């Protein structure tokens, strides 16, 4: 595994992403937290992409990181919501969609023909939970979809287990 402190930082930032969705779902003020998590998570991934030896990964995600950076600028200027398509939703979707982003989040190198590193596999699982709402049948016969906060609660469980297994120290960015 990569540098454990770096991996723990990435995993804790992902936990903060989920905490922000839970906060957003609660109806409480969330914009400061969302902007802080958005900046910290993007900066972490960008730093990993720019580390010596990660050139192959950087080339694969360079465009994605630039689009995210442009979105973050729009969010910081108040032109976009920190939760929307330019903000956390975009970053969450990119981590879910691109294995290279998962590897960078947990400070791993380019994934090989053997697949993702074990820690990145757990990230894939939790991001799959966020992406697949798995609706249930309501009493009225209609499908009931969980809220984004409920999905974040579900996704945090395996992530919390990994953080505990790695004995990661809590991260405070807010």
* 103 in Cβ contact with 116 (< 8 Å): yes
pLDDT reported for residue 32:
86
pLDDT reported for residue 12:
93
Confidence of residue 109 (pLDDT cuts 50, 70, 90): low
Q: What is the average pLDDT across 129-158?
A: 88
Tell me: pLDDT of 1 over 70.
Answer: no
| DSSP secondary structure of 9-63 | HHHHHHHHHHHHHHHHHHTS--HHHHHHHHHHHHHHHHHHHTSTT-HHHHHHHHH
Task: Using the CB atoms, write b or e for 91-118: b if 16+ within 10 Å.
Answer: bbebbbeebbbbbbbbbbebbeeeebbe
Overall pTM > 0.75: yes
CA pair distance 159, 155, nearest whole angstrom:
7
Cβ-Cβ contacts under 8 Å for 120 (sequence gap 6 or more): 99, 102, 103, 105, 106, 108, 111
Token representation of residue 12 = 């804790």
Residue 92, CA distances (Å) to 1, 4, 136, 152, 167 in order: 23, 22, 23, 11, 24
pLDDT per residue as tens digits for the range 63-98? 888 888 888 888 778 777 777 766 788 888 888 898
- Residue scoring higher pLDDT (161 or 173): 161
pLDDT per residue as tens digits for the range 31-65? 888 888 888 998 999 999 888 888 888 888 888 88
- Residue scoring higher pLDDT (117 or 49): 49
């Amino acid at each position: 595994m990569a540098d454990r402190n770096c991996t723990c930082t990435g995993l804790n930032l992902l936990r903060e992403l989920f905490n922000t969705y839970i906060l957003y779902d609660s109806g409480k003020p969330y914009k400061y937290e969302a902007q802080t998590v958005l900046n910290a998570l993007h900066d972490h991934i960008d730093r990993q992409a720019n580390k010596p030896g990660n050139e192959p990964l950087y080339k694969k995600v360079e465009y994605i990181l630039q689009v995210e950076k442009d979105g973050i600028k729009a969010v910081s200027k108040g032109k976009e919501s920190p939760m929307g398509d330019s903000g956390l939703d975009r970053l969450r979707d990119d981590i879910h969609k691109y294995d290279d982003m998962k590897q960078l989040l947990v400070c791993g190198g380019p994934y090989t023909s053997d697949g993702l590193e074990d820690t990145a596999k757990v990230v894939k699982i939790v991001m799959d939970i966020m992406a697949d709402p798995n609706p249930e049948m309501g009493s009225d016969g209609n499908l009931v979809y969980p809220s984004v906060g409920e999905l974040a609660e579900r996704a945090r469980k395996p992530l919390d287990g990994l953080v505990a297994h790695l004995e990661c120290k809590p991260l405070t960015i807010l």
